[in-house]
A and B are shown apart, each in its own frame.
Chain A
Amino acid sequence: MDSLLEFTGATKRFEDFAVRDVSFSVPPGYIVGLVGPNGAGKSTLMRLALGLIKADGGSVRVFGTDPAAAGRAGAEARARVGFVHDSPRVYDYLSVERVAGIVAPFYPSWDSALFSRLVADFGVPPKAKVRSLSRGTKMKFALALALSHRADLLLLDEPTGGLDPVFRDRLLDRLSDVIGDGRASVLFSTQLVTDLERIADFIVIIREGRVMFSGPKDDILDHWAVVRGGPELAAELAAASRRGVVTTRQGVEALLEDIEEARRLFGGKALVEKATLEDAFLLCREPARREK
């Protein structure tokens, strides 16, 4: 089946920032983790996917449709999307149930019983004014809204921000349940690599508006290596690494895509270890070149 969400060379320029030539896709039945530091362009990609901004170049397709298209097609695609924005302030002077009453009629597939169950499960008081909720509880409420119309694609912009570790754990379990039937998918942006280690199938690493890596998480965990050596190895590591070399006070760290080759080249003179997602997140510096 085709991808639910597809970026193909998407570019969006602002006065002081741009995302450039972004290409990756979200296939059905998978969780894709979008990871990058603050200001890397994660929210811009989410806004592109929701049609809130238009790409200056390349294309963005949601269920095969341009979400920013002027006609009904974009709106119909959004009916199948659940979203959580990074700062869920919506109508905060109203109560939880009133805000739900505003949002629900827009979705033909809205399930009121599911919403009631979710807010109860998440510990969100339905009568409380949204502004009286903590940041974490507001996020839980936003998640309940996003999950209650049984969306085929969830776009979650830093949904674990402000959540306590216990609830974060439960949320990650629930997201795994959502994709359980192989139909729905999740694009999940975060700065917390540990979230992705648990649930993501694919990883997209973005830095300064460019995709540094996009591919299966296991490619990194099974094959990649981090090599740590003295400064004398800088030139050699730079030549060997296609992903990124960082010089620290202690020496040089480099990401290599093949741990066997890394051991062969640097086994005797540097520390070679399996790379973690955190290593990939911290060290990946070169834009992706080989991903499909």
Chain B
Amino acid sequence: MTMRHLLAKDVRLVAPYLWLIVPVHALYSIQAFLNPELYFWMNLAAALAWTVAVTAIEWHLDADHVVASLPVTRTAIVSARYASAIGGLAVGAALFVLYGHVTMGVATERVAAHWQGSPSWATVDGVVAFLSIGFVAVAAFLPFFFRWGLPAGASLFAASAVVFVLAGTVVSRALSGTTPAGELLAGITGSLSWSEAVRGWLVALSTSWGPWAAAPMVLAGAAALGAASVRLSVRFYQARDL
């Protein structure tokens, strides 16, 4: 019950800005003509903006201590923020597919040529890649927020993400036995195409386990990570003075 009210609160908070979805996605669609990879990331950023917007609004207005003064538990506040983020990602994924279809539907042959050889994102694995990357980002960010608040938590999250990407790239290069400096740089650049990598893993999983087993496996992995993240956030938030 309380969760429902907390989710309704988030919707009401962001409601005055929901009209932005239309022009923002129109811009994305234009972008999609030029770069399909960027289309993925910009849509994902828009979906994650839901969580960032709600979090930033409450932080900016010092509303977190007002919300915590209501008859709600801190566990409910944390859980609702994750549920809200998942809702934002789901809506974002739906718009990602919808606008992708619309864009390709109206694209001229010359413009559509940009997408040749690029993945068609409006597929199960494309959507799963969208949801799983988005959820990993949420699951990684929120514990920072609930422990340190917005300015400090966001900065620490950003710094940790950069370190994680660089370290991941270095380790993966080292493990593959190709560690020259030029290749390392290429690896770092390449790591920005993680959507491709995730999609590649999905395709590999599909090949091994069948197309309908791969998506649930990846989503189950994301859910397990999410559950661990929720527990961590609850512990952090219960210990925090507001």
Contacts and interface: CB of A to CB of B under 8 A. Distances in A.
A91 B11 CA distance: 13
A53 B13 contact: no
Contacts of A89: 61-63
A106 B12 contact: no
Pick the most buried of B2, B13, B68, B76: most chain A CB atoms within 10 A of its CB.
Answer: B68
A52 B5 contact: no
Given A105-B5, A106-B2, A92 B61 contact: yes
A71 interface: yes
14 contacts: A50-B68, A50-B69, A51-B68, A52-B65, A53-B241, A70-B73, A70-B75, A71-B73, A76-B71, A78-B72, A87-B62, A94-B16, A102-B13, A105-B5
A4 to B, nearest CB: 16
A93 interface: yes
Given A51-B68, A72-B73, A79-B71, A91 B241 contact: no
A70 B242 CA distance: 14
Interface string B116-146: 0000000000000000000000000000000
Nearest to A95: B16
Given A53-B242, A70-B74, A90-B61, A83 B69 contact: yes
B81 to A, nearest CB: 15
Interface string A53-94: 110000000000000001110111011010101010111111
B238 interface: yes
Interface string B1-33: 010010011001100100000000000000000
Contacts of B175: none
Given A85-B65, A91-B61, A103 B70 contact: yes
Nearest to A107: B71
Pick the most buried of B13, B61, B70, B238: most chain A CB atoms within 10 A of its CB.
Answer: B70
A135 interface: no
A71 B76 CA distance: 10
A263 interface: no
B26 to A, nearest CB: 25
B8 A105 contact: yes
A242 interface: no
B12 A98 contact: yes
A54 B241 contact: yes
A101 interface: yes
B66 interface: yes
A47 interface: yes
A105 B241 CA distance: 25
A236 B57 CA distance: 59
A56 to B, nearest CB: 10
B61 to A, nearest CB: 5
B92 to A, nearest CB: 23
Contacts of B16: 93-94
Nearest to A71: B73
Contacts of B238: 70
B61 A75 contact: no
A107 B238 CA distance: 22
Given A75-B72, A83-B69, A47 B242 contact: yes
Pick the most buried of A81, A91, A101: most chain B CB atoms within 10 A of its CB.
Answer: A91
A107 B70 CA distance: 8
Nearest to A131: B61
Given A78-B69, A79-B71, 11 more contacts: A47-B65, A50-B68, A52-B69, A70-B73, A70-B75, A75-B72, A75-B76, A81-B69, A85-B69, A89-B61, A89-B62
Nearest to B234: A70
Contact of B12 (A74, A76, A81, A102): A102
A133 B26 CA distance: 36
Contact of B66 (A72, A90, A107): A90
Interface string B72-93: 1111100000000000000000
Contacts of B73: 70-72, 74-75
B4 to A, nearest CB: 8
